[in-house]
Amino acid sequence: MTGAAGEALAMVWRERLENARNGYEAAKAAVQDAGELQSQIPFPDGNFALAHALQAERYALAEFKRVLIIFNDLLLRGKAPEEER
Protein backbone atom coordinates (compact mmCIF):
# COMPACT_ATOMS: atom_id res chain seq x y z
CA MET A 1 0.00 0.00 0.00
CA THR A 2 1.44 3.36 -1.00
CA GLY A 3 0.50 7.00 -1.15
CA ALA A 4 -1.69 9.09 1.07
CA ALA A 5 -4.05 6.23 1.88
CA GLY A 6 -1.16 4.10 3.09
CA GLU A 7 0.22 6.91 5.22
CA ALA A 8 -3.19 7.59 6.74
CA LEU A 9 -3.64 3.91 7.54
CA ALA A 10 -0.17 3.78 9.11
CA MET A 11 -1.05 6.78 11.30
CA VAL A 12 -4.25 5.06 12.45
CA TRP A 13 -2.38 1.89 13.36
CA ARG A 14 0.46 3.82 15.00
CA GLU A 15 -2.13 5.39 17.30
CA ARG A 16 -3.72 1.99 17.97
CA LEU A 17 -0.27 0.60 18.78
CA GLU A 18 0.40 3.43 21.21
CA ASN A 19 -2.99 2.87 22.87
CA ALA A 20 -2.32 -0.86 23.18
CA ARG A 21 1.12 -0.18 24.65
CA ASN A 22 -0.34 2.26 27.16
CA GLY A 23 -2.98 -0.32 28.11
CA TYR A 24 -0.32 -2.94 28.67
CA GLU A 25 1.81 -0.57 30.75
CA ALA A 26 -1.23 0.28 32.89
CA ALA A 27 -2.00 -3.41 33.35
CA LYS A 28 1.60 -4.07 34.42
CA ALA A 29 1.35 -1.29 36.98
CA ALA A 30 -1.92 -2.76 38.28
CA VAL A 31 -0.20 -6.13 38.76
CA GLN A 32 2.57 -4.42 40.71
CA ASP A 33 0.03 -2.63 42.90
CA ALA A 34 -2.01 -5.79 43.48
CA GLY A 35 1.13 -7.70 44.40
CA GLU A 36 2.06 -5.09 46.96
CA LEU A 37 -1.45 -5.02 48.42
CA GLN A 38 -1.83 -8.80 48.49
CA SER A 39 -0.09 -9.10 51.85
CA GLN A 40 -2.31 -6.38 53.34
CA ILE A 41 -5.65 -7.76 52.15
CA PRO A 42 -7.03 -10.89 53.81
CA PHE A 43 -7.21 -14.16 51.89
CA PRO A 44 -8.91 -14.80 49.42
CA ASP A 45 -9.54 -11.20 48.37
CA GLY A 46 -5.85 -10.35 48.00
CA ASN A 47 -5.24 -13.41 45.86
CA PHE A 48 -8.33 -12.69 43.76
CA ALA A 49 -7.20 -9.10 43.11
CA LEU A 50 -3.77 -10.29 42.02
CA ALA A 51 -5.20 -13.05 39.81
CA HIS A 52 -7.59 -10.56 38.21
CA ALA A 53 -4.76 -8.08 37.58
CA LEU A 54 -2.59 -10.82 36.06
CA GLN A 55 -5.40 -11.89 33.75
CA ALA A 56 -5.93 -8.29 32.62
CA GLU A 57 -2.19 -8.00 31.98
CA ARG A 58 -2.22 -11.14 29.82
CA TYR A 59 -5.13 -9.80 27.76
CA ALA A 60 -3.42 -6.41 27.37
CA LEU A 61 -0.18 -8.07 26.27
CA ALA A 62 -2.03 -10.23 23.73
CA GLU A 63 -3.72 -7.13 22.30
CA PHE A 64 -0.41 -5.26 22.17
CA LYS A 65 1.20 -8.17 20.30
CA ARG A 66 -1.75 -8.39 17.88
CA VAL A 67 -1.61 -4.69 17.03
CA LEU A 68 2.19 -4.77 16.78
CA ILE A 69 2.05 -7.60 14.24
CA ILE A 70 -0.54 -5.74 12.18
CA PHE A 71 1.49 -2.53 12.34
CA ASN A 72 4.69 -4.31 11.32
CA ASP A 73 2.96 -6.07 8.43
CA LEU A 74 1.55 -2.75 7.28
CA LEU A 75 4.87 -0.90 7.40
CA LEU A 76 7.26 -3.62 6.30
CA ARG A 77 5.16 -5.56 3.81
CA GLY A 78 2.50 -3.04 2.81
CA LYS A 79 -0.13 -5.57 3.91
CA ALA A 80 -3.32 -3.89 5.10
CA PRO A 81 -5.18 -5.65 7.93
CA GLU A 82 -8.37 -7.54 7.06
CA GLU A 83 -10.62 -5.03 8.84
CA GLU A 84 -9.22 -2.19 6.68
CA ARG A 85 -9.69 -3.83 3.31
* pLDDT per position as a tens digit, 61-81: 999 999 999 999 999 998 888
Cβ proximity of 72 and 11 under 8 Å? no
Give residue 1's pLDDT band: very low, low, confident or very high (50, 70, 90). Answer: low
Greater model confidence, 41 or 28: 28
* Under 8 Å between Cβ of 71 and 14: yes
Mean per-residue pLDDT over the chain, rounded: 90
Listed range (1-5, 9-13, 32-36, 70-74) with the worst mean pLDDT: 1-5
Residue 25 lies in a domain: yes
AA letter at 61: L
Is 76 contained in some domain?
A: yes
Whether residue 85 lies inside any domain: the answer is no
**Residue 65 domain-assigned (yes or no):** yes
Phi, psi for residue 4 in degrees, rounded to 5: -65, -35
Overall domain count for the chain: 1
- Which residue type does 62 have? A
Domain encompassing residue 14: 3-80
**Other residues' Cβ atoms within 10 Å of the Cβ of residue 52:** 13
